[in-house]
A = this chain, B = another copy of it.
Amino acid sequence: MARRTERQMVAVLRERFRPAATVGANQPNAAASIHVGIGDDAAVVAGSEAAWVSSVDAAVDGVHFDLAFLDYADVGYRAFQAAASDLGAMGAIPVGALSALILPRTLSDAALDRLTEGQAEASRELGCPILGGNISRGRELSVTTTVLGRCPDAPLCRGGARAGDQVWLVGSVGLAGAGLACLRLGLGADGVGSNARGTALRAAASEASRRAVERCIGAWRRPRALLEPGRDLAGIASACIDVSDGLATDAAQLARASGVRLVIERELLRAALDQELLGASHVLKRSALHFALYGGEDYALLATGPSGQRPTFARPIGVVTRGQGARLATPEGERPLSRGFDHFGR
């Protein structure tokens, strides 16, 4: 059977990524504001007096995702959410996205369909239409997503934290890391990421533990960018970063950009952890706190701001002080938070 030509693929993508005709309350960017979308040399978006925000993020096979544990739809979905998460961290309203795919010859049309369905699903959920993109041949599958947004208020940057601010956590941390650990142990339920040892462990676990494992696996496979909380933080928080590499690493990044020290209080962080993380960590016989600090890929938001202005959805987990670096405060004393995962580290 003949494979699709490039033009046919573009036609499929144009159809799949067509902006929704009806725009709901979650989707502040009306489709009407897109003047030119997929199929022309470039996408055109109507301007306004707001600041415009753009960011790009790549997901590479074998580096950012493992097809042993993910369907192609998951690959597309999470690549899009990961890219969009940067809009949340800036407090931006999504305007649109561009998708650049590098596709090996071995990738079937069906797999590409699944992948782009996952992208389209995330795009719809976030109200962030795919305005254009590029497809290229290559030996290695990758999904590179550019997101564009606008900020009616001042954008939330990493460099605004001041001594005396509180440290806030929005969303959950640790679940995705625990979910990946569950899959690696064979605790998956659907034949993906399951093996005899994991199946025995599942059988021995309580119903609540099994639900906790499922929830963590879901958090890793299908993360969700926190665009609305990000917008709500704009004008309130002094600084913000999305937690993609683990709380320890991203706290250190925010501290560095702001020229301050971030002190995370262990007992406050513990109190902010999800029950499902505790449940899955119990099954895994590993520390929930470790997943929370070093797990990554949750796409929570880490912000700072005056304690008196903390929104209810933001949980206080520490304080900003003079100094540098990210530290963990415990009843026994304070210690540096060592770094999380770095693809470029050895």
Contacts and interface: CB of A to CB of B under 8 A. Distances in A.
Interface string A322-346: 0000000000000000000011111
A183 B307 CA distance: 65
Given A41-B241, A100-B144, A344-B137, A52 B52 contact: yes
B342 A138 contact: no
A9 interface: yes
A86 B343 contact: no
A75 to B, nearest CB: 14
A269 interface: no
Contact of A137 (B7, B48, B60, B135): B60
A6 B344 CA distance: 5
Interface string A138-150: 1110101011111
A102 B50 CA distance: 32
Given A98-B146, A102-B142, A346-B3, A159 B40 contact: yes
Interface stretch (A87-95, A185-193, A214-222): A87-95
Q: How many residues of A sit at the interface, in one of the four size bands? A: 35 or more
A48 B47 contact: yes
Number of copies: 2
Contact of A5 (B58, B86, B89, B345): B345
A38 B99 CA distance: 20
Instruction: Tell which of A7, A42, A87, A146 has the most Cβ of chain B within 10 Å.
Output: A42
Contacts of A146: 54, 56, 98, 100, 146
Contact of A35 (B144, B147, B155, B257): B155
Interface in A127-182: 131-140, 142, 144, 146-151, 155, 157-159
Given A5-B342, A57-B134, A98-B146, A52 B63 contact: no
A139 B92 CA distance: 33
B53 A43 contact: yes
B47 A53 contact: no
A18 interface: no
A196 interface: no
Instruction: Tell which of A41, A132, A157 has the most Cβ of chain B within 10 Å.
Output: A41
Instruction: Tell which of A86, A135, A147 has the most Cβ of chain B within 10 Å.
Output: A86
Contact of A342 (B6, B45, B54, B63): B6
Given A41-B158, A90-B41, A137-B63, A52 B47 contact: yes
Contacts of A87: 42
A342 to B, nearest CB: 5
A81 to B, nearest CB: 14
Interface string A1-36: 001111101000000000000000000000000011
Interface of A: 3-7, 9, 35-36, 39-60, 62-64, 86-87, 89-90, 92, 96, 98-100, 102, 131-140, 142, 144, 146-151, 155, 157-159, 240-242, 257, 342-346
Top 4 A-B pairs, shortest CB-CB distance: A42-B55, A6-B344, A41-B89, A41-B86
16 contacts: A6-B345, A40-B157, A42-B92, A42-B155, A47-B51, A52-B52, A54-B96, A55-B98, A56-B100, A64-B136, A98-B146, A100-B100, A135-B344, A136-B343, A140-B140, A142-B142
